[in-house]
């Protein structure tokens, strides 16, 4: 990297800032990226502390942005929260962000929105497509009863939701 007046900077901080310029990252993601880049733990810890101090990483804000994006893409808040946890967001922040992103909408409404987004105004062609759409909604974290209701299908399965 080129430094003004030939004065070298902090390579770990430079790499962190380069990574953050590419996209929003959680502290955990940034730490892992710095580790892959070959920086030792003490360097990574001091760099993360400095980046936090500068305000360049803010996990609760990152959680809000990512949750909003995912819910807008048709994912259910409960799956969004689990994904945020896996990305290093603290559980209270992940849950709060996913609830905020849902804007108070119930499961049925969110499943219907996801279906509408997927179909883009058209109706399912046949029963086979409805089954495929049902599986797609469930894969995006929507409870089976909500997915079935959005598709106008009868649901006779278990209404229990495993919210691990």
Residue positions counted in the chain: 164
* Residue 52 backbone zone (phi > 0: left; psi -120 to 50: alpha; other: beta): alpha
Q: List pLDDT tens digits, range 76-129.
A: 999 999 999 999 999 999 999 999 999 999 999 999 999 999 998 888 889 999
Q: What is the tens place of the pLDDT at every residue in 31-90?
A: 999 999 999 999 999 999 999 999 999 999 999 999 999 999 999 999 999 999 999 999
Tokens standing for residue 58 = 């803010």
Q: Are the C-beta atoms of 111 and 147 separated by less than 8 Å?
A: yes
Cα–Cα distance measured from residue 90 to residue 96, given in angstroms and rounded to the nearest whole number: 10
Q: pTM of the prediction?
A: 0.81
Fold of 11-54: Arc Repressor Mutant, subunit A (1.10.10)
DSSP 152: T
């Amino acid at each position: 990297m080129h430094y003004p007046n030939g004065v070298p900077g902090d390579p770990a901080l430079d790499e962190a800032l380069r990574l953050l310029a590419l996209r929003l990252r959680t502290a955990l993601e940034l730490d892992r990226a710095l580790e892959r880049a070959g920086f030792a733990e003490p360097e990574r810890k001091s760099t993360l502390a400095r980046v936090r101090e500068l305000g360049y990483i803010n996990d609760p804000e990152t959680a809000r942005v990512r949750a909003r994006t995912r819910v807008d893409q048709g994912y259910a808040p409960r799956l969004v929260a689990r994904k945020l946890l896996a990305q290093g967001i603290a559980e209270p922040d992940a849950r709060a962000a996913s609830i905020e992103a849902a804007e108070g909408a119930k499961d049925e409404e969110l499943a219907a929105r996801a279906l509408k987004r997927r179909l883009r105004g058209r109706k399912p062609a046949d029963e086979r497509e409805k089954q495929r759409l049902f599986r797609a909604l469930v894969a995006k974290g929507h409870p089976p009863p909500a997915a079935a209701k959005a598709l106008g299908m009868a649901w006779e399965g278990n209404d229990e939701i495993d919210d691990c």
